[in-house]
Amino acid sequence: MTDSRHTLLRGQFDLTWSLFEYHLERLEPEDFLWEPAPLCWTMRPDGDGGWVADFAETEPDPVPVPTIAWISWHIGWWWSVTIDHARGQPPRERTEITWPGGGKAAVEWLRDLRTDWLAVLDRLDDAALDATAPFPWQYDSGHTVADMLAWVNSELMKNAAEIGQLRLLRVARRLDR
């Protein structure tokens, strides 16, 4: 990364990650599948030792409250697909993104995605930032790779805040007892 856009986008990513890391370091295995509300989306055992995400192609109304497990899978899904696009590889389908389970496995998976993303960022030059981004705007060719990087920063910040809020709520509820 060489121009000011690189510097800005990388700085935003690093700040977002540092805020996320605050919560990742404090997550306990029990946090992942804790259901904060009766209407919840989570990860469920698939019967073969894996996990399947609650999911609907059309967002339901009301929207279910996601668990930390579901949000961590969601991050893994959109980030893996974004990395595939950025590398020029065929993007994996949602169902091909496997959640490793809660606790350390999920945290390490997210940290590995960060490492993969940094490798993508380090390969980008100024011309690449202006190229058309195929994701997440598959049907709108007006967005650039720089837009995609900004979207990753925004999406990660939103998901990090959701995980952080759920973690804080669970801790607070345990203290109330």
pLDDT 10s digits, 105-137: 999 999 999 999 999 998 888 888 888 887 776
Alpha-carbon distance of 30 to 45, in angstroms, equals 15
**pLDDT for the residue numbered 125:** 84
- pTM higher than 0.85 for the full model? yes
CATH number for the segment(s) 4-38+64-175: 1.20.120.450
pLDDT higher than 60, residue 139: no
**pLDDT for the residue numbered 2:** 56
pLDDT higher than 50, residue 163: yes
**pLDDT for the residue numbered 133:** 84
Neighbouring-strand partners of residue 53: 43
pLDDT higher than 90, residue 96: yes
Helix runs in 25-125, H state only: 29-32, 68-86, 104-123
Average pLDDT, the chain: 92
Alpha-carbon distance of 42 to 168, in angstroms, equals 18
Pick the closest to residue 74 from 61, 59, 90 (CA basis).
59
Task: Locate 165 and state its tokens.
Answer: 């809020």
pLDDT higher than 50, residue 1: no
List phi, psi (to 5°) of 31: -65, -35
Q: Where are the domains of the chain?
A: 4-38+64-175
CB-count exposure of residue 46 (10 Å: 0-12, 13-18, 19+) = exposed
